[in-house]
A and B are shown apart, each in its own frame.
Chain A
Amino acid sequence: MFSVTCEQHTLYEKVQLVSRGVSGRSTQPIQNNIFLQAAADNLILVATDMEFIGVKTTMAVEAAEEGTITVPARILTDLAGRLPPGPVSLAADESNSLKITGKHSDFDIRGLPADDFQQLPELDDPTSFSMTQADLLDILDRTVFATSTDETRPILTGTLLKISGKKLETVATDTYRLALYESLLASEVQRDQEAIISRRPLVELQRILDPDAEEEAEIHISQNQVEFVVGGTVIGSRLIDGQFVNYPKVIPTGGDKKITVKCDELASALDRALVVARQDAYRVVLRAKGETLTVSAKSQDVGEAEETLEISLEGDEAEIAFNAEFMLDMLGAIDSEELLIELSGPLNSGLLRPADDENYLYVLMPMQIM
């Protein structure tokens, strides 16, 4: 039962990949294990905490005997990484221990029988679509960072994917800021669908997406699950239950003061101002007048900072305070040359968007000007 031979570096890579599905705090010891299945000429590896994330991947091996076993993820990763390059053979016996044999190494790792291992659940009648890995990565990079980390409001820790027809809206917010990205799918989906996806699977997905890959990423969303399939690897998660915030309501309209500024200049100005602003809740004050924008920060303990930038301004003079980190998060997610900031008053939220991209917008709540 269960016997395969494979290359050390592929094994390590795959084991590392699936071990991300282990939460380490699972109340059920077996879910801290990686499930291994030898089938035909494949080794299937699965790890899941049964809730937030499940990872499944496949690698080509020489399978001498088909079978299954589970072993602790931590131990297997540790060991696979330390074995010398070259062929490694894995074999399980009746007593549920996994024999790992390398060039000069011989290990016997205690495992658990695979019967009790919870597999990734099957999706029931999902809505499916696909897009290039580059596009998916772009969507995630521009939105997921804006999710909340406050687990007492679970809805906000998730990112909303809303698909209607060919349109995909991706939204994330922590109530201080909101990121919304609209994209078009290649073809219409069978059925409109909304899904709130927690952060963990998305972060793992960002890690494995390859913007240069030709193979597309598939997305399957059912009533209670989501599954992303990227080049032989499946990342699944249960959806967050509940109603997402009514986000169209918070998107400001009628910002009559429009500032256009160079992204890189603004980013480096903010970065410097942060040295001071960090001590004052990341607060920076933006003042636009004529063709200049001053970015200033003040802190009782540290001192004061002022940066001047060249801009073009449409409308009256404007003044507003923002969280500099939040602005930098957004600037880091776009690669446009110019940023458009639309403001109406110092107490109204501001709208930030790349000057050359209508589809992405970022709403920022103002801070009190001190």
Chain B
Amino acid sequence: MSFAQIAGHEGTLQVLKKAVLTGRIPQAYLFVGPSNVGKTLTAVELAKALNCETLTAPETVDDIEPCDQCSSCVRIEKGIHPDFRIVQPLTRIGAIDDEETEADPVTGEPSKKKDEFVQMEGAEIRISQVRELIESASLMTNQARRRMYIITGAETMNIAAANAFLKTLEEPSAATTFVLTTASPNDLLPTIVSRCQVVNFHPVPAAVARDFLVSRYPEVSAEQIQSIVAMSSGRIGWAIKLLQQPDVLQIRSDLLDLCVRLAAADWVECLRGGELLVDAAERWWLATNEEEIAEKALKASRDRVLRTSMGDILDILATWFRDLLLLSSDAGADGLINMDRAEQLRDLAGRYDAKKCEAACEHLQRMHAQLGQNANLRLAAENLALRLIVT
């Protein structure tokens, strides 16, 4: 990676590069922008540029580009640099191993069961993570010109953790920069925000995202990329995740097939549809997360995991009814999200009028809300499927 390979964010990158050039790096940045637009990615590149062994005497802003070859760049990229660390919000999914606790060979004490954490809905930055961070930041740097800690989802720090962090954030030891990233800056303590230099990240414009993805994934059809870009609403990272996982594309296609079937389905078909939705949520989770962790999390807290990924499933369904709404209102096919399915959509448009489409979108939204209210997932999914048929 390098700055040049980050899609969009030109103005933002200029600001950051300028800071590198002049050497005026604040002790803390707050990167604000929607999730998956490239905030963390940019922070990693910034860390590399600040420590790159070959980038020692830049003359212009355009020179600010990490080499990606030197050991500093490579170690940061791999996440094994001693002066670089990413802290992410995590959810405890319980002690996974069923093995009996045995004495630790080193200390002789009974070893604690190792807690396993994953990133999912409701995850937070825990006070123990912040304490470790404070301790680590109190040490002198090892080999870096500038040590960097990236804290993603900074708004998930609870109040105790945030307060514990304030002092270190305000006055870290020399040559240390924190980069906090957040999608909802209003959920951060004002005392945190006021200690950071805020840098805004905007959704990547569709045209930029499309060109970027087309050149990067030549094997995927332009139409499919078009619909993925439209679906991503500027969250380029999300689009990339979809493209990197063929399973994900398959799930989307299965879901859209379901939508087509639902148009003329009977009740039995609908109940099957509900099952398919839950099943899709599970496949989605497995496809979009690291295999080993995903399976463990699924085993440990299946319901919670499915609720997390069901949100994405509903978003995909919503694009379908949005497209139908667009067609039924004679707005033309230019703005379609599911461009690759334009024909099917046109066929169905006659059977869905604007009212029905709106109703469908409302049902989807209601289900979104129900996910957070402990509704039985399977029942809610079946109910949804029943309501989506044209009756």
Contact = CB atoms under 8 A, between A and B. Distances in A.
Interface in A15-44: 16, 19-20, 25, 27-28, 30-31
B80 A116 contact: yes
A157 B143 CA distance: 23
Contact of A51 (B75, B86, B139): B139
Contacts of B82: 50-51, 118, 121
A47 to B, nearest CB: 11
B383 interface: no
Contacts of A118: 75, 80, 82
A52 B136 CA distance: 8
Contacts of B290: none
B134 A152 contact: yes
B105 A239 contact: no
Majority secondary structure of chain A interface residues (helix, strand, loop or mixed): mixed
Interface in B68-105: 75, 78-80, 82, 85-86, 105
A81 B167 CA distance: 45
A220 to B, nearest CB: 15
B105 A78 contact: yes
A116 B78 contact: yes
A224 B175 CA distance: 13
A151 B139 contact: no
Contacts of A30: 80
Contacts of B85: 27
Most buried by A among B138, B167, B173: B138
A241 B140 contact: yes
Nearest to A48: B82
A207 to B, nearest CB: 11
B164 interface: yes
A241 B79 contact: no
A240 B105 contact: no
A152 B105 contact: no
B139 A16 contact: no
Given A25-B132, A28-B79, A28-B80, A242 B105 contact: no
A50 B82 CA distance: 6
B106 interface: yes
B163 to A, nearest CB: 10
A238 interface: yes
Given A152-B164, A154-B135, A224 B140 contact: yes
Interface in B171-211: 173-174
B181 to A, nearest CB: 17
Nearest to A80: B105
B136 A51 contact: yes
B80 A16 contact: no
Contact of A240 (B86, B140, B164): B140
A50 B174 CA distance: 18
Interface residues of B, number: 24
Contacts of B141: 224, 238
Contacts, number: 70
Interface in A240-286: 240-242
A104 B144 CA distance: 48
A235 B252 CA distance: 54
Given A51-B139, A223-B140, A16 B106 contact: yes
Contacts of B131: 151-152
Interface string B100-133: 0000011000000000000000000000000110
Contacts of B174: 241
Most buried by B among A28, A51, A154, A238: A51
A77 B104 CA distance: 10
Interface string B243-255: 0000000000000
Contacts of A155: 138
Contacts of B143: 121
Contacts of B374: none
Given A16-B106, A81-B105, A154-B134, A238 B139 contact: yes
B134 A240 contact: no
Interface in A25-84: 25, 27-28, 30-31, 50-52, 74, 77-78, 81
Given A25-B132, A121-B143, A242-B173, A154 B138 contact: yes
B140 A239 contact: yes
A224 B140 CA distance: 5
B208 to A, nearest CB: 33
A152 B165 CA distance: 9
A155 B80 CA distance: 26
Contacts of A121: 82, 142-143
B79 to A, nearest CB: 6
A320 B367 CA distance: 68
Contact of B138 (A25, A28, A81, A240): A240
B142 A224 contact: yes
A148 interface: no
A144 to B, nearest CB: 17
A30 B75 CA distance: 12
B71 to A, nearest CB: 10
Interface string A317-331: 000000000000000
A198 B139 contact: yes
Interface of B: 75, 78-80, 82, 85-86, 105-106, 131-132, 134-136, 138-143, 164, 167, 173-174
16 contacts: A16-B106, A28-B80, A31-B80, A74-B105, A81-B105, A116-B75, A118-B75, A121-B82, A151-B134, A154-B138, A157-B135, A224-B142, A238-B139, A239-B139, A240-B140, A242-B173
Interface of A: 16, 19-20, 25, 27-28, 30-31, 50-52, 74, 77-78, 81, 116, 118, 121, 151-152, 154-155, 157, 198, 223-225, 238-242
> What 6 A-B pairs come out closest when comparing CB atoms?
A154-B138, A224-B140, A241-B173, A50-B82, A238-B139, A77-B105
